[in-house]
Structure 1
Amino acid sequence: MNNWKKVFAIIWTGQFFSILTSSIVNFAIVLWLSFETKSAEVLALATIAAMLPQSILGLFTGIFVDRWKRKLVMILADSFIAFCTMLLAVLFYLDIAKLGHVYLLLALRSVGSAFHMPAMQASVPLLAPKSELIRIAGINQIIQSVCNIAGPALAALFISFMKMTNILMMDVIGAALACTSLLFVTIPDPENAERTQKVRLLKEAKEAFTEVRRQNGLSWLFALSILGTFFIMPVSVLYPLMTLNHYSGNAYQISLVEVAWGIGALMGGTFLGMKKFHLNEISLINWMYILLGVTFLLSGILPVSGYPLFVILTAVGGVSGSLYMASFTTVVQTRIDPAVMGRVFSFYMSVNMLPSMIGLLSTGFLADTIGIGNTFMIGGVLVGLIGVVSFFVPSIDDLRRSFRK
């Protein structure tokens, strides 16, 4: 086994337990909010709390990720998230946890993620050959998918007989394992002349934007991804309430839908990760918009008796999401200079999230006014149109041709 494979094996082992426990905790919180409030508005606000700090801080965190030791950034970020989760566990133990406390925890976890995610993504190209990046992205999707399958199922099981305190403490243990695994590997940092210079936030943040614009077609790819998230996010938040309200489902049926998405994503990640395929990443991105849009549209058309088909459509959506994310990540990792990659990833994550906040704010109103099914249909049509338009943007087509194997 090559050295880079050993390094990834160690990192992935720790990350697996961290992502799994986070998935359990996140879905346990979703279940707790769903049963306590049965409100689309509350779920939307919880999602905003989990995204807003990361989206704002992410405009600048990449600047520090590119300057600091990336391994240390990941360890400190994971430790901070674990500490915040432990505080909420104490509040549940004392039986004084309120809705506001949950919002605050989600916001604080988001602060940690604003540093951890770009540090992790920016480290990958420094650890493996470029020719292996699509496989690595596929394997990352496998790990995410397995955790997205097991997490909701375990959360639904645990919440039926365990206190929230004990469930939350699992995330603390998972973070400790992730930090420990990082201690056993060396993650190189790219040469960066700015490391010893004074931080100039606006100037260095602008450099990420300039780097994206410098790559022909990449700015259009980013713009359409941001527009897609604007329509996808409000719909994705409604999955638990679609099951609970439209299908009169229970905790296990809610978790089954989440598991179905995870199984689909696992299939997509396995397809990319098991061997080298001669695929065009840009074409995959465009087709996955269309496929996801179709699953949203059909899910909204289904009658109340269509729950089994809804589960299948959700799994297909998981396939599309997995292939899309792996392809998009690979394009960025292949095209962007490693010295500014932390900035580019954090910049993208921030700008991608900010417009979706507007969509999330309208989620409760849309679901209550026109119905959850209609919201799915409208979202599906708009997402699918983005995929169709992508094929006719000249600069994206030029980028697609440059990725032709």
Structure 2
Amino acid sequence: MWRNRNVWILLIGEFVVGLGLWAGIIGNLAFMQEVVPSDFHKSLIIASGVLAGFLVGPLAGRMIDQSKKKTVVQWASIGRIVSILFMFIALYTSSVFWMVLFLITLQIAAAFYMPALQAIVPLIVKDKDLMTLNAWQMNARTISRIVGTAVAGLMLSYFELKWLYITSLIVYLMMFVLTSLLHIEEGQQSSMANKEKSNFKEVLPMVKAHPMVLMTLVLILIPTLFLGSFNLVIMKISEMHHSAALSGMIYTVEGIGFMLGAASLKWISERVQIGKLLFTLAFVIGAMELLLLLADRQLFALIAFGVFGFSVGCFFPMTMVIFQKQVPKEFHGRFFSFRNMIDSVIFQIVIVSTGMLLDLIGLNGVGLVFGMISIGLTITFLVYAKQKNVVMDV
């Protein structure tokens, strides 16, 4: 696998585009602090981009299935480049309108880019290497988040805001060049473009016909409960202990745990049957949510996030392999678009719910509620799998 040029292009591209993404996110926050006084208005601005990405999801899925995936990725890269140009206008005019246009364009490009990239992975490596490549792709994304936020924060201290977006522009141009070097044997598209019936609505019957895919989709809700509440929970823990340094320690421990989990997944999956591993990780994540009941002690807070990081470092690459192998290739574009749409909706619901629950029942209550939901879902689908004799293997 490591002699495959496409693999290196994919991993370097994942890291590079992550740098541009996080430089842009830090820049967005800094720009809104200058021109948007209301926190509510800031949330609406961010939500506008997310909504745009959600709305184009069905179209993106169909186009990915009906077109060459490399071409879709390249056009999405061009979309990101164009979005940065809108942001330069926003900086020059101090206009929120142009920033909204920037966010909408960026999220629309991402709605095409991410599902196409996920559909490319099984085309460039053999099935036995899917676990390894997905794990290292996650690690590249995590490292880019750590490096990107650190470098962007440093740049803001010494340079004007525009240099963050200049950096993003350079990075997206690099990504376009990298993707042009991909060599993918996609074959003929089985004349899908000529079939009027090949629409987005076919995804749901396909998911119902593959019980393992359905269960994995639902089980993804478990780590999403933790991830969606991540920043709010960490801020609450820091306030509880009156320590700003603690939040940095938690982020570090979680990041290290994630990378160790992703790096260990291949070794673990060779020794543990994938169905057992999936449900075990779901139980562990639910238990770590319950461990937030003891977050008034720093050690337990660090253990909870460290073990959570390791668990999701194994969980997400494994679910990606399940989808790439179990979902028919002619559905990959539509399915991964569908999955991204679900993720974006659940994330927004979890963020809002967490904020409300923290006010109503506090951190301990949030840990108890999320933990019970997670463990309840895991037990329910474990029983369902046993009753229906679902083969939990790929």
TM-score scaled by structure 2?
0.84
Is the Cα contact below 8 Å between 1:66 and 1:339 reproduced in 2?
A: yes
- The alignment status of 1:278 with 2:276, answered yes or no, reads no
CA, structure 1 residues 298+40, in 2 after alignment: closer, same or farther (shift >3 Å)?
A: farther
The correspondence of residues 295-374 of structure 1 with structure 2, limited to 5 A, is 295-299=288-292, 301-303=294-296, 306=298, 310-372=301-363, 374=365
Letter in 2 for 1:123: I
Is the Cα contact below 8 Å between 1:282 and 1:399 reproduced in 2?
A: no
- Partner Cα distance (1:352, 1:344) in 2: 12
The correspondence of residues 46-65 of structure 1 with structure 2, limited to 5 A, is 48-65=47-64
CA shift digits 1:97-124 (9 cap, x unpaired): 55x7656544432211110111111111
CA shift digits 1:134-154 (9 cap, x unpaired): 111111122112123323333
SS of equivalent residue, structure 1 residue 188: coil
The structure whose RCO (Cα within 8 Å, separation 6+) is larger is: 1
Q: 5+ unaligned residues in a row in structure 1: which ranges?
A: none
- Partner Cα distance (2:379, 2:33) in 1: 35
Letter in 2 for 1:223: V
- The alignment status of 1:207 with 2:209, answered yes or no, reads no
- Partner Cα distance (1:35, 1:380) in 2: 39
The correspondence of residues 106-255 of structure 1 with structure 2, limited to 5 A, is 106-197=103-194, 199=196, 204-225=199-220, 227-228=221-222, 231-232=225-226, 234-239=228-233, 241-242=235-236, 245-248=239-242, 250=244, 254=247
- Partner Cα distance (1:390, 1:72) in 2: 38
SS of equivalent residue, structure 2 residue 383: coil
Is the Cα contact below 8 Å between 1:295 and 1:313 reproduced in 2?
A: yes
- The alignment status of 1:11 with 2:4, answered yes or no, reads no
SS of equivalent residue, structure 2 residue 199: helix
SS of equivalent residue, structure 1 residue 392: helix
Shift in Å at residue 380 of structure 1?
A: 3.2
TM-score scaled by structure 1?
0.82
Q: 5+ unaligned residues in a row in structure 2: which ranges?
A: none
The correspondence of residues 21-36 of structure 1 with structure 2, limited to 5 A, is 21-27=20-26, 29=28
The correspondence of residues 40-79 of structure 1 with structure 2, limited to 5 A, is 48-79=47-78
Letter in 2 for 1:238: L
- Partner Cα distance (1:109, 1:53) in 2: 9
SS of equivalent residue, structure 2 residue 211: coil
Shift in Å at residue 62 of structure 1?
A: 1.1
Deviates most, 364-373 or 34-43: 34-43
> Taking every aligned residue pair, what percent have the same amino acid on both sides?
18
Is the Cα contact below 8 Å between 1:282 and 1:327 reproduced in 2?
A: no
| RMSD (Å) for aligned C-alpha atoms | 3.5
CA, structure 1 residues 113+271, in 2 after alignment: closer, same or farther (shift >3 Å)?
A: same
